Structure 1
């Protein structure tokens, strides 16, 4: 975590994170115009943030877009913040802003998260595709029921209430899962069009992997695009703990 603290120690890099908080997915040129630095200077600072995994990049056409990755900050919170302080500190991990797009299924992602996990892709895949493991890492300890085939349904429940429904679009073990995502937990999200969630697993060496989660296709700023930013950082951090240790990281509900 030293690289995370070193990256955050510089005010210029914190400002770049603030710019991305205001509008995620910006290009180098867009970020440069908001600073008094040269293009090379901005590139140097972005490289430090990328090395610390606080900023992720994805190429769309000829442009490189930059995205906040709150997962490292969530891991810092998980390690040092007590469960009593967690509700107040949780906002630190919610650095994701919303990128409006005219194309309902834009190729520019809206939420991008990345984690390195000390486990093989097969071990991570086994947890992700085991419905009995879902409540051990999902936000609000949600359960799931899945028909594991392309075109099959994947549903999430809180108790007996279905809160998310989706359909599996792509299954490529142990590398990739793509599904539609239709939130049903409240009237404001239930009217939104289905979005898309992609899980990408990349092997690193013989006993580690990189997990990238992309949630896109909102069709602009919607109630769903705002709401999901609160759940993904927690769920991914809990997933990392479960896969690496075999022990569930239990998050106590905050007091009302």
Structure 2
């Protein structure tokens, strides 16, 4: 997987495509094509390479195919090559977090049909294994951002709370549960006054089996009330959480980050 990502990043046109999606996510092929002196087919070929490396994900909205920057593979490279060995030095050269900053959609698109943040990853574990991790409060600190713990009433309409120490960082209700394929939550951030002032948004986990021991996980975080503090903040946490979830599902061992440094 690392080889595919490095190969995809080796071409300047593909890096420029990622830069465009970092500036504003959810672009059509026509929008991206207008920035390059290439044919439509040429831009499509570069996008296919990025899709194959899972650096770009696509989602149909009406008749249009929209392209989204997927930062999970970059986070995985960070975990493998930077977090373990050279984090204090690499951060002075490259702020990985900046790669995963706010991905803005067209302001003219309605929030009802336009997901704000879309992440996808392939996991060498069964859909049931991934579902069991996500829905097990005891496993939450093994994959969640900042090693958060959780308390959940696992039923439709039930409340959940993701905790930092004895304080609720994120809370909400379960909107939909379809084991082992779909989990929909309301998302109310509470870790700071600016995000606590926002209306609740929505998080959807979609787990699609590929084989008995592999699945595709897509996370969509949407239904923000505009460009909120929450919509800007969560892009720093989801790539790390999903990368850690993948490691836990595939190896059975948590990737614990030491934040002391």
Structure-2-length-normalised TM-score? 0.93
- State the shift of 1:115 in Å: 1.2
The answer for the alignment partner of 1:72 in structure 2 is: 73
Secondary structure, counterpart of 2:237 in structure 1? helix
Establish whether residue 207 from structure 1 lines up as the match of residue 216 from structure 2.
Answer: no
Matches within 5 A, 1:105-254: 105-254=111-260
Distance 1:110 1:116 in 2: 21
- State the shift of 1:116 in Å: 1.1
Secondary structure, counterpart of 1:113 in structure 2? strand
Q: Indicate conservation of the 8 Å contact 2:26/2:68, yes or no.
A: yes
Post-superposition Cα deviations, 1:136-190, rounded to whole Å, max 9, x if no partner, equal 1111111111111111111111011011111111100000000110101111111
Secondary structure, counterpart of 1:84 in structure 2? helix
The answer for the alignment partner of 2:49 in structure 1 is: 48
Secondary structure, counterpart of 1:26 in structure 2? coil
- State the shift of 1:223 in Å: 0.5
Secondary structure, counterpart of 1:179 in structure 2? strand
CA RMSD of aligned residues (A): 1.6
Assess, with a 3 A threshold, how the Cα gap between structure 1 residues 101 and 150 changes in structure 2: closer, same or farther.
Answer: farther
Distance 1:254 1:40 in 2: 48
Q: Indicate conservation of the 8 Å contact 1:106/1:219, yes or no.
A: no
The answer for the alignment partner of 2:30 in structure 1 is: 29
- State the shift of 1:42 in Å: 1.0
Q: Any runs of at least 4 consecutive aligned residues in structure 1 with deviations exceeding 6 A, and if so which?
A: none
Q: Indicate conservation of the 8 Å contact 2:101/2:236, yes or no.
A: no
The answer for the alignment partner of 1:14 in structure 2 is: 15
